[in-house]
Amino acid sequence: MNTKYQAFFQEFSFSDKLDLKNRIVMAPMTNFSSNEDGTVSQEELDYYRARSKGVSMVITACTYIEENGKGFLGEFAGHTDEMIDSLASLAAAIKEEGAKAVLQIFHGGRSCPTELVPNGELVSASDVAQNPLPAPRPLTEKEIQEMIKAFGLTTKRAIEAGFDGVEIHGANGYLLQQFFSPHTNRREDKWGGSLENRLAFPLAVVREVKSVVKKYAQSPFIVGYRFSPEEPETPGITMTETFGLIDALLNENLDYLHVSVQDFWSEPRRGAEPSKSRIEWIVERVAGRVPVIGVGSIYTPEDAVKAFETNISLLALGRELIIDPEWVQKVQTGQEDQIVTEINKEKQKELVIPTPLWNAINSSPGWFPGV
């Protein structure tokens, strides 16, 4: 191995809970490939096995915590106890290849396709529509409390299924972000208005999840939180508001924060100077108090070297692990010159990519290099 890549392969520990063999993890990516009944498909198991050999931790695609939270066709379910065996098959597939397994839990809110939720009814913080979908119905107080409990119940299922942790999905415009955002949260009760009130629902979910972990986890089990640092809308989430979110999350004793950006080096729009990338500002704000996972268009080992210079704790690879499942192994064995950085349209089978994901990649020019 080239010595300049040795930092990738340092062991990492989440305090005294979980030890990772290196600092490269697999980012959560929707693959549209679960069975119609919400169980994990064989194609998905093969896909995860192929990508769990080199990385130290796999964060799965999101699983929905309530029936009306399904955000994608072919998304695997975690909303009932009947899904525990399905989830267990996924955790086992990942762990058998040597990686830790973290289940990402979420609710799509107003972003759910109407054909995937009961009666086509969307729910959110407020009745702000996401074009071209219809306006959602604001959740009632009772429903909010039930939703908080549902995040906890899915966490309990993750524990029973053998996962090593959960990641709370508060990013990419889904329900938790819909409550946090002044664009999608127009409520006038205790769940809306001020920054503190808009943070109340995400923080209640965090506390419920951590309470369930404390009660039921018999072995080390971590809890992370993923967030998107900005929104394009006005009013919308700015870096200033994101700093408020970070400060609040730091008080919750989470095991890590995970930044969701398309490009690791993307610069702030509002609320921070563009002299640094969003991730650099976030790392500075966190100041070492909790591990930070960075992500975003990292394709080569040189990209990764530059990213680690920001003092992030861990680096998540997403599209690159789809393009080349053996990225980590190639770096580790000094074969980095053999890393592939553009999708090979002739090698679906060799790359172990499920057909629904393969079709989505090939019908979305610009999403992946080479398409």
Per-residue model confidence as pLDDT tens digits over 189-234: 999 999 999 999 999 999 999 999 999 999 999 999 999 999 999 9
CA 52, CA 135: separation in Å to the nearest integer? 39
CA 169, CA 184: separation in Å to the nearest integer? 17
pLDDT above 90: residue 52: yes
> What pLDDT was estimated at residue 73?
97
> What pLDDT was estimated at residue 17?
87
> What pLDDT was estimated at residue 36?
97
CA 7, CA 1: separation in Å to the nearest integer? 11
Angle 134-138-140 from CA coordinates, rounded to 5°: 150
pLDDT band at 15 (very low <50, low <70, confident <90, very high): confident
CA 26, CA 94: separation in Å to the nearest integer? 11
pLDDT above 90: residue 283: yes
Peptide bond into 301 cis (omega under 30): no
Alpha helices in the chain (DSSP H): 42-51, 84-95, 141-161, 175-180, 195-198, 200-216, 239-250, 278-286, 301-308, 319-323, 327-332, 348-351, 355-362
Using a cut of 0.75, tell me whether the model's pTM lies above it: yes
* Count of beta carbons in the 10 Å neighbourhood of residue 204: 18
> What pLDDT was estimated at residue 114?
98
**Does residue 104 contact residue 63 with C-beta atoms inside 8 Å?**
yes
Q: Which of 95, 5, 54, 3 is nearest to 317 (CA)?
A: 54
Over residues 135-150, the pLDDT tens digits come to: 999 999 999 999 999 9
Secondary-structure class of domain 3-342 per CATH: alpha beta
CA 269 to chain centre: 22
- β 18-20/12-14 pair status: antiparallel
CA 182 to chain centre: 22
**Does residue 79 contact residue 157 with C-beta atoms inside 8 Å?**
no
Catalytic residues: 174
pLDDT band at 16 (very low <50, low <70, confident <90, very high): confident
CA 46 to chain centre: 20
CA 259 to chain centre: 9
